[in-house]
Structure 1
Amino acid sequence: MNHLWGIDLGGTKIECAVLNADNIKEVRVRRRIPTEADQGYEHILNQIEKLVNQVIEELGERPEKIGFATPGTLDPVTQTMRGCNTVVMNDQPMQKDLEARLGVSCLIANDANCFALAEALLGAAPEVHPNAQVVFGIIMGTGVGGGVVINGKVWGGRQGIGGEWGHIFLDESGGPCYCGNVGCVETVLSGPSLQRFYTQEAGEKRSMPDILARHQAGTDAAATATVERMLNQFGKALSIITNLLDPDVIVIGGGVSNIDLLYTEGVQRAQKHIFTPKPDVLVVKNVLGDSAGVFGAALL
């Protein structure tokens, strides 16, 4: 049987999924082991090799190629990893090293691209727009990322930064970003950034669900200020995607995607910034959850 192999390389776990190429909704094998990144880059490679061998034994056949979802980007010029929050991977020739270890062709894309690909082909996009040609995937969680899928393929761009919505300038109030710039989308709309703004306003820490509940109850001015700022800034950031790409579907994942107001008031706030008299922006919540990374890797 023809199979598609994918591995999601996370900070705490490495997951492998094998899909039936003739029916991509059929998962033949799915296994995970701990990353143990604190033991270094070579140990991560060892863990990947260990997991692949386990799946080979279970499936009874070797892969022809493997797709990898990574927490960073393979620089197309230097062929080394960059922007990984699993920092021991940075500056490493990971694709070359994996191919040498595993003896198969390896394809690498960042986790936001893999999320976008999975939701475009298997997830939310086909449910709302079966013939979608352009899908933009957004991850809003601990960090913020994005990915572009055009006609079923990831658009990584000339420099490997296609879809990097999280590092577009949005508002200086977000403050410094780990990337070296100030006011990136990530510094304004990530979960920790939203909670940090509330703390600055209220002088105390609260979780995002608690902030939302207090806003909806009308009992906490700082909570309302946090939510209003989130909706306004999300609207501006969403309009950037729409004015640039005008995608058929925008899919949101990550912990912040559970905020229902984003799909109603958030989209409404975007409309006044969109360059058309009657904006029609289709923004939906993901359906694959944490499966999107490994499925997207397989679909590479």
Structure 2
Amino acid sequence: MKAALAGPGGELLHQARRATGRDRGPDAVVEGILDFAAELRALGVDRFGEPARAAGVAVPGIVDEEHGTAVYAANLGWRDVPLRALLGERLGSVPVALGHDVRTGGLAEGRIGAGKGADRFLFVPLGTGIAGAIGIDGRVESGAHGFAGEIGHVVVRPGGLPCPCGQRGCLERFASASAVSQAWAEACGDPDADAADCAKAVDSGDPRARAVWQDAVDALADGLVTALTLLDPRVLIIGGGLAEAGETLFSPLRDAVRRRVTFQKLPRIVPAALGDTAGCLGAGLLAWDLLGTDPHGPGPHGAGPDGTTPTTTTPPEVTT
């Protein structure tokens, strides 16, 4: 779990981390989040003379943002956890916003990170899985049922590898960091090899690594062009562990996307700027939005009108 006190400009005034404790069961995870948030709110009094006035929390899995419910998270064992209500009770009835981890990270990247100033962007983190955040005019779309942005389950290789979602050939089975790790471990014969090792081997000219890497880049480009055709973003932000390879990823990816577009307008393809602080920053922005006065859209930083400081707390960034 990562937590922070966030200021009106998106700055993290205090940060803390602790183990999720999921080995003790889903109820223990929830209790850990509630305790963490309460401690952080109290810290606001000690550090800044007043408690945090709003809270934002970002969680993985399926999230019902409207009703404040963590519907399902396989890695945490959650089902229908009324997290917003529980946090409100623990924090003394302060307003609480609940968001999906990737969409919340995308909110931060769009407003104060790599997509700052763009009216439309798509944020795609490449980690254990692949998800996406669709940004429009400073907000992130959650969809009618909370599934918006699940680009990792776009089928790019029909009849390909089975996916836990029940389909075959999903994007995340070919282009996520875990997929590249698996493919490279098999190709090089080292079961401990991972995507970072593959990227290094690509840079050193290893033909096996280049083949694995190109397969992933091609699959990713196929999925991204589908998304670009549907959403027409101005900026495409790539984050997650695989993006840490830098131009080893971005140079061939830009080329692959460019080769595939026809009538579509090619967006800027850029690396994410906020790293693993994006979730906390985004949760802070959600909290600031609760304190705003314009129901149709926040200011450039989602700042509240009274200069108060929200609490944010997020569980691990796990895509399911």
The two structures have a TM-score, normalised by structure 1, of: 0.83
Partner of residue 157, structure 1: 143
Kindly indicate whether the alpha-carbon contact (under 8 Å) linking 2:63 and 2:69 is maintained by their aligned counterparts in 1: yes
5+ residue gaps, structure 2, are 287-320
| 1:115-164 per-position Cα deviation (integer Å, ceiling 9, x unaligned) | 111111111123xxx3x101111111122121111111111111111112
User: Is 1:137 aligned to 2:123, yes or no?
Assistant: yes
Does 2:35 align with 1:46? Answer: yes
Structure 2 residue aligned with 1:37, among 19, 22, 29?
22
Mark the CA change 1:194 to 1:55 in structure 2 (over 3 Å): closer, same or farther.
Answer: same
- What is the aligned-residue identity percentage? 27
Task: Name the CA shift for 1:26/1:162 in 2 (closer, same or farther; >3 Å).
Answer: same
Alignment counterpart, residue 92 of structure 1, candidates 64, 76, 81: 81
Alignment length (residue pairs): 279
Per the TM alignment, residue 26 of structure 1 is displaced from its structure 2 partner at its CA by: 3.9
Report matched runs for 1:69-88 at 5 Å.
69-75=58-64, 80-88=69-77
Q: Whole-Å Cα distance in 1 between the matches of residues 252 and 272 of structure 2?
A: 18
Q: Which residue of 2 aligns with 1:14?
A: 2
Q: Among 264, 282, 294, which residue is 1:296 paired with?
A: 282
Contact 2:54–2:96 (CA<8 Å) still a contact in 1?
A: yes
How far residue 299 of structure 1 moved from its aligned partner, in angstroms, is 0.9
AA aligned opposite 2:6? V
Q: Distance in 1 between matches of 2:69 and 2:12?
A: 31
**Equivalent position of 2:106 in the other structure:** 116
- The aligned residue for residue 267 of structure 1 is 254
Match of 1:176 among 153, 156, 162: 162
Structure 1 gap ranges (5+): 1-12
Aligned-residue CA RMSD in angstroms?
Answer: 2.4
Determine helix, strand or coil for the equivalent of 2:107: helix
Partner SS state of residue 4, structure 2: strand
CA distance, structure 2, for counterparts of residue 82 and residue 183 of structure 1:
26
Cα deviation digits, residues 269-288 of structure 1 (max 9, x gap): 123433417x4221101111
Contact 1:133 1:152 in 2 (8 A): yes
CA positional deviation for 1:112: 0.9
- In the aligned structure 1, how far is the partner of 2:165 from the partner of 2:77? 17
After TM superposition, give the deviation of residue 25 of structure 1 in Å.
4.2
Partners of 1:172 and 1:31 lie apart in 2 by: 43
Kindly report which structure 2 residues correspond to 1:185-196, keeping only aligned pairs within 5 A, or say none: 185-196=171-182
Provide the TM-score with structure 2 as the length reference.
0.78
Correspondences of 1:207-226 after superposition (within 5 Å): 207-219=194-206, 221-226=207-212
Show the counterpart of 2:95: 105
The 10-residue stretch of structure 1 (99-108 or 199-208) with the greater mean CA deviation from structure 2: 199-208
Q: Does the C-alpha gap of structure 1 residues 85 and 56 become closer, same or farther in structure 2, counting only changes over 3 Å?
A: farther
Q: Kindly provide the amino acid, as one letter, of the partner of residue 264 in structure 1.
A: S
Equivalent residues of 1:14, 1:48 under 8 A apart:
no
The Cα of 1:57 is off from its aligned counterpart by 3.7
Instruction: Determine helix, strand or coil for the equivalent of 2:110.
Output: helix
Q: Which residue of 1 aligns with 2:51?
A: 62
Greater RCO (Cα-Cα under 8 Å, separation 6 or more): 2
Partners of 2:137 and 2:19 in 1: how far apart? 34
Following the alignment from structure 2 to structure 1, what is the Cα–Cα distance between the partners of residues 266 and 198? 30
C-alpha displacement of 1:113? 0.9
